[in-house]
């Protein structure tokens, strides 16, 4: 699956001040990341504030992204949750025209066993008409896809990779050692991308690539020394993206870069003045 190597952008959903979707801003961001050398888009993942969008809005954003991208780069769509049957129902009613794969987060809050996680994903993979990328983010879901679970799921022909955001390089190494060679290991942590490349990773699904796609082009595609130095440029600003909830810091950074407004939907609120001051100080120029 060469189309999902390199930099995938976890696309934000720009809003107007009245919280309606800013489709003009969305187009501007899409142009920015494509012109910056990004390899694919992830539409309606966590960074897109999908939890606060209605089903109709989610599909409208997907439709707009597909139409405006116009085949320039592939599109991955976020479909996940902690109710397996609801996800299967959503798959049945989704038009996948123009969608190249889905990204599906591991069930959150109800903390299923590994056997439950495996059954959850196998049902999704069997039902989905496009390939499935797993998403392991224990800091949000409160459960971890163990490397054994990932290896077991990698045997399904419609499960093509994992976005690994555990921050556990040992776990990632064990995955890399056991999965098929063409199974994608995608970093879910922007700064750890060069390290993951060394052990067999295939790139990143990135938050900060919304703002700095050219830096991520180097992180994902350049030689290791260049990639490492590119990642170092983001060391100071990266933690600020998450201090007050994702994508609060990112949206303010995007506003500073003239790409879209900083509005987020409740329960998130705009960044504090302290956060904004530090972002202005440490953002790469």
Q: Are 124 and 91 in contact (CB under 8 A)?
A: yes
Q: Are 159 and 132 in contact (CB under 8 A)?
A: yes
Cα→Cα distances 244→139, 179, 274, Å: 15, 36, 11
Secondary structure (3-state) at 162: strand
* Residue 93 marked ligand-binding: no
Q: Can you list the positions of beta strands (E) in 86-172?
A: 101-105, 132-136, 159-164
**Can you tell me the distance from the alpha carbon of 7 to that of 23, in angstroms, rounded to the nearest whole number?**
23
Phi/psi for 7 (5° steps) reads: -105, 115
User: Using alpha carbons only, how large is the chain's radius of gyration in Å?
Assistant: 18
* Residue 52 marked ligand-binding: no
Q: Are 231 and 219 in contact (CB under 8 A)?
A: yes
Task: With CA atoms as reference, report the closest residue to 129 among 162, 88, 163.
Answer: 88
Instruction: Exactly one of 58, 121, 147, 163 is catalytic; name it.
Output: 163
Establish whether 135 is a catalytic residue. yes
Instruction: Exactly one of 77, 135, 212, 252 is catalytic; name it.
Output: 135
Residues contacting residue 237 through CB under 8 Å, at least 6 positions apart:
208, 253, 279, 282, 283, 284
Question: Which long-range contacts link 238-244 to residues 24+ away (Cβ below 8 Å)?
Answer: 238/190, 238/191, 238/208, 240/275, 240/278, 240/279, 240/282, 241/207, 241/208, 243/275, 244/268, 244/269, 244/271, 244/272, 244/275
Q: Where are the alpha helices (DSSP H) in 50-113?
A: 55-69, 84-93
**Can you tell me the distance from the alpha carbon of 190 to that of 187, in angstroms, rounded to the nearest whole number?**
7
> Annotated binding site for pyruvate: which residue ranges?
47, 205
> Annotated binding site: which residue ranges?
47, 205
Catalytic residues: 135, 163
């Amino acid at each position: 699956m060469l189309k999902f190597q390199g930099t995938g952008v976890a696309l934000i959903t720009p809003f107007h001040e009245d919280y309606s979707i800013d489709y003009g801003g969305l187009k501007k961001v899409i142009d920015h990341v494509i012109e910056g050398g990004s390899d694919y888009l992830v539409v309606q993942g966590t960074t897109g504030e999908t939890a606060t969008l209605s089903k109709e809005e989610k599909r409208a954003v997907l439709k707009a992204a597909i139409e405006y991208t116009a085949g320039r780069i592939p599109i991955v769509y976020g479909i996940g949750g902690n109710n397996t049957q609801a996800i299967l129902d959503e798959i049945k009613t989704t038009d996948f025209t123009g969608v190249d794969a889905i990204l599906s987060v591991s069930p959150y809050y109800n903390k299923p066993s590994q056997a439950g996680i495996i059954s959850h994903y196998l049902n999704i993979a069997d039902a989905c008409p496009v390939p499935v990328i797993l998403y392991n983010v224990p800091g949000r879901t409160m459960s971890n896809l163990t490397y054994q679970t990932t290896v077991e799921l990698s045997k399904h022909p419609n499960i093509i990779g994992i976005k690994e955001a555990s921050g556990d390089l040992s776990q990632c190494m064990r995955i890399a050692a056991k999965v098929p060679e063409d199974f994608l290991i995608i970093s879910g942590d922007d700064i750890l991308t060069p390290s993951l490349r060394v052990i067999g990773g295939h790139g990143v699904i990135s938050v900060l690539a919304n703002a700095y796609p050219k830096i991520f082009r180097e992180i994902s595609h350049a030689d290791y020394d260049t990639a490492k130095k590119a990642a170092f440029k983001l060391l100071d600003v990266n933690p600020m993206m998450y201090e007050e909830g994702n994508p609060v810091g990112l949206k303010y950074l995007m506003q500073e870069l003239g790409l879209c407004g900083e509005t987020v939907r409740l329960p998130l609120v705009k960044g504090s003045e302290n956060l904004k001051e530090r972002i202005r100080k440490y953002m790469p120029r």
